[in-house]
Amino acid sequence: MIDSASIKRHQVQSGQSAHKNIKNIIAVGSGKGGVGKSTTSVNVAVSLAQLGLQVGVLDADIYGPSMGMMLGVAERPESLDGKTMQPLQAHGVHFNTMAVLVDQDEPMIWRGPMVSRALVQLLEETNWPELDIMIVDLPPGTGDIQLTLSQKIPVAGAVVVTTPQDIALLDARRAVKMFEKVGINTLGVIENMSTHVCSTCGTQEAIFGEGGAAQLVKDFDTELLGQLPLHKDIRLQSDEGQPIVAALEGGGIAQSYQRAATSLIAALQQQPKDFSASFGKIDVQINTAE
């Protein structure tokens, strides 16, 4: 378990001030679709909650939101004042996503500015409780959402998800460079689908290659936070709205996610702290009288 009081606020990118209710916002990106970024985000978030932290998840993939399904929630958030939303809750985490605000089959045919406004509204118009960590699950690519994140949302660090496959690593490198360019520290890399685990015999095979993530973190002087398996049960549980760390808590796969979550917190704790809230507002008065 992790003591919630031990989680301090950490510095965010230049020009931003920390969120009043959220100690640390962590962006999870990949640069490429299909690497299991959302599945990783959900299971790491639930793992952090199991470790005793107050955790939130913001689904920033406006065009293709999936958090509602992965967390097994379909109802829309409640509004107590007609202006703001109460976050939804599942498996110990608070979350919000466009998936529960629009019809399931409704396509999001929006231009970039509308998508960016939607992201900011999801963050600012949700009544988040006091949170130690918020995971922001980014869409693939390095476009409007990522730029909005860097310009309007205080981010304490980023995690890049990749697979060992060379083509995924190319985009993962771009994702690390993108965070670097916008002044957001990359806390580390999570290698998803590191090995395929046969559901019948348990044999593990590196079907997507191996060693790529290790080289990536070496090249960019960051951390390898975890290596997660490719297993049928992860997909089955996600489709049923039961993250595998909750459905099969204590199992070998769940332990892989918990190790990644613990490594993430360790990497965050190494970042510079934000003490600005401790000093309060300083009022400086100059006496010009002689």
**Per-position DSSP letters for the chain, written without gaps between them:** ---GGG---B---TT----SSEEEEEEEE-SSSSS-HHHHHHHHHHHHHHTT--EEEEE--SSS--HHHHTT--SPPP-SSSSSBPPEEETTEEEE-GGGTS-TT------HHHHHHHHHHHHHTB----EEEEEEEPPSSSSHHHHHHHHHS--SEEEEEE-SSHHHHHHHHHHHHHHHHTT--EEEEEETT-SEE-TTT--EE-TT-SSHHHHHHHHHT--EEEE--B-HHHHHHHHTT--HHHHTTTSHHHHHHHHHHHHHHHHHHTSPB--HHHH-----------
What is the rounded distance in angstroms from the CA atom of residue 25 to the CA atom of residue 150? 12
36 falls in which pLDDT band (50, 70, 90)? very high
Write down the pLDDT at residue 282: 55
Write down the pLDDT at residue 92: 97
Tokens of 152: 């309007």
The CB-side HSE value for 155 (13 A sphere, CA atoms) comes to 29
pLDDT at 140 over 60: yes
Higher pLDDT, 100 or 189: 189
Task: Report the pLDDT averaged over residues 148-164.
Answer: 95
Write down the pLDDT at residue 103: 80
pLDDT at 279 over 60: no
59 falls in which pLDDT band (50, 70, 90)? very high
277 falls in which pLDDT band (50, 70, 90)? low
* pTM of the predicted model as reported, rounded to 2 decimal places: 0.92
Give the least confident one: 72-86, 99-113, 258-272: 99-113
Q: By the 8 A CB rule, do 167 and 58 touch?
A: no
275 falls in which pLDDT band (50, 70, 90)? confident
Q: Which CATH number is correct for 4-272, 3.10.450.50, 1.10.10.10, 3.40.50.300, 3.40.640.10?
A: 3.40.50.300
Task: Report the pLDDT averaged over residues 197-208.
Answer: 89
Domain boundaries, the chain: 4-272
Write down the pLDDT at residue 263: 98
